A and B are shown apart, each in its own frame.
Chain A
């Protein structure tokens, strides 16, 4: 079953009198349970594509179906609800609220759900346990390391049990050990059946996925399957050993 279907997606920005065509006739589909990396150097339109995939922005032309819903025809409110219950975001800068505890940060998307789950707190605690941060539940984000903060953000992305997890350069602000830990979490989630799209400029990061789409000048330049993805768990262990031997 296709989780995502993109058909001739075009995005053109108009500033002053200059028209910039950022995405050109992009078409691909993503199956449920895939782990896809979208790769490209800066300026190739990968951020724009990621915004469209995340229903944060609309294409100028083309069709986008997410989990059976045609998002292009939806209004702003409907898109907000779609983001709330179908998409989990992980950002490069984490975007956690320092004034709230880690647990509260994880529960943040629940503010905007129609039905507030009765076991919200238990769910959040379970997710924190899944990313290995049970003891940090009452901490403030600024008391955590970067890697820990990004794992809190992943737990937050999962609280509404989304169909799709979208990660935008999730390891961009992390050292290699923390980066490997975060990627290990993504790989574990994917093994559990979660659909993940990871946007990055870094080939080493991209190759942790099962499939890579390479963007060049706003077009799909390459779409290939990775038969043997890199193992983030192994890298994390290797980094840890390196630390020990220092």
Chain B
């Protein structure tokens, strides 16, 4: 096969016209660089999104008292969400695996001996463990009996336990939350960062009845956590819950809701933030660069065919077939775009690393953008190289040698 020999000729030719070769490459370089950055940023964002969604729970719906946005706990004094609402949701909507109403208080003072912290205290029903997939790693969970007796027991997040008791075993010890003494009956599994951005592990959990009656002194709740059986049904179940709460709270849209509903999809949307727009802009840049670069490439190649008519004639006289000439010019085009791809990938990689340094984005570099870039480079090279190559191959040797 003489393909390799022809490829060598391409290399010589491109090497002899470095400036022209670079100009032909420019579009591909920019396009591929942009593509590499998009993919890296996109990957990084998806990773972040998945982490947030997993932290929230892929099967989860959260009903929060008060309008508001985000998954933050309700503001103080919002009394609209009640246990009866949770009861109604459980009874009237199908497809729910488990439901857990709970009440949250931010910044509760907690003391153990001389150690004191301010943290989030959650008063939860026994189902809460299942609804959050969050169980004690040590000791016992919140039980029906705790609920019935309004027992003064609590479970500590690992961080809370460490802050209050250090390395000491906390189970069986006492902490003072507000003015009430609680016995530590369990330590919760380590869970990490919450969708709100704070640390789950600094939280403290108590029975719901105890919380409402003995500690918070209230008859309303702040959240209802719902875990569905089939994640595909999340949005329809969320809609049903919304409708039911409208009915129960006598709200007719467009009147404002006194509750908010979030699902994994909403969490993903919030976590993606502006990265979608960024991806779109960079995508447009990449596409445009490749297109314009391809057109420039094609035109310079066409000019080059014109300039090299004598060379083409000579090669034909020396025995090159039309196919050989076609192959030479097409390979020049492909060589240009693949070289551009290599430079563009390096360039994009450098930008990505720089971006990771100066922004909060955490781009992830994988092999996929390089494979995709190679695909694009070949595509552009072939697409925009065919026309000049065909023109070169069509030249009659006698005409070319005139």
Contacts and interface: CB of A to CB of B under 8 A. Distances in A.
Interface of A: 51, 54, 56-57, 76-77, 80-81, 83-85, 89, 91, 93, 95, 97-100, 104, 108-114, 116, 156, 160
Nearest to B324: A112
A160 B322 CA distance: 20
Nearest to A109: B318
Contact of A112 (B13, B16, B319): B319
Interface string B380-402: 00000000000000000110010
B316 interface: yes
Contacts of A111: 2, 5-6, 9, 320, 324
A21 to B, nearest CB: 17
Contacts, number: 73
Contacts of A97: 311
Contact of B2 (A98, A112, A156): A112
A85 B321 CA distance: 13
23 contacts: A54-B317, A56-B397, A56-B401, A57-B397, A80-B322, A80-B324, A81-B321, A85-B319, A89-B317, A91-B314, A95-B310, A104-B12, A108-B315, A108-B318, A109-B319, A111-B5, A111-B9, A112-B315, A112-B321, A112-B324, A116-B2, A116-B5, A160-B319
Nearest to A160: B319
B323 interface: yes
Contacts of B12: 99-100, 104
Contact of A80 (B5, B313, B314, B316): B316
B322 A89 contact: no
A64 B15 CA distance: 42
Nearest to A84: B319
Given A77-B321, A83-B316, 7 more contacts: A51-B398, A54-B317, A57-B397, A76-B321, A80-B319, A95-B314, A160-B319
A51 B6 CA distance: 25
Interface in B270-317: 310-311, 313-317
Contacts of B316: 56, 80, 83
Interface in B187-209: none
Given A77-B323, A95-B310, A99-B16, A84 B2 contact: no
A208 to B, nearest CB: 23
Contacts of A98: 16
A95 B317 CA distance: 11
Interface in B12-58: 12-13, 15-16
Contacts of B16: 98-99
Given A56-B397, A56-B401, A99-B13, A112 B318 contact: yes
Which of B2, B13, B310 counts the most chain A CB atoms within 10 A? Answer: B2
